[in-house]
Amino acid sequence: MSELSRLRWLCRRGMKELDLVLTGYLDRHYPDAGGSEQAGFRKLLGMQDPELYNLILGKQSTEDSEVAAVVRIIRNEVQRIG
């Protein structure tokens, strides 16, 4: 299984909203992202849904700068679309 296929599988969550924003980031940003940003996305995928959802909604923050950078990109994308 390729890395992108594995990551796409990990984007499948219990909440459809998370599926959409994570898969959107994977398709539009991940391939061109630097190593640090890609690492942040992989860390993000390791989080539990409630924590991830709260990060994306801005109800929670993280000390991890790599994760925070990816969350900012996702939030900007959601605001641009929404």
Angle at 45 between CA 43 and CA 48, to 5 degrees: 105
pLDDT of the chain, 82 residues: tens digit per residue? 799 999 999 999 989 999 999 999 999 999 999 999 999 999 999 999 999 999 999 999 999 999 999 999 999 988 887 6
What is the residue extent of each domain of the chain? 3-81
pLDDT of residue 82: 63
pLDDT of residue 79: 81
Task: Give CATH superfamily name and number for 3-81.
Answer: Flavinator of succinate dehydrogenase (1.10.150.250)
User: Can you tell me the distance from the alpha carbon of 61 to that of 58, in angstroms, rounded to the nearest whole number?
Assistant: 7
What's the pTM?
A: 0.92
Q: What are the C-alpha distances in Å from 14 to residues 2, 51, 56, 65, 80?
A: 23, 13, 15, 25, 24
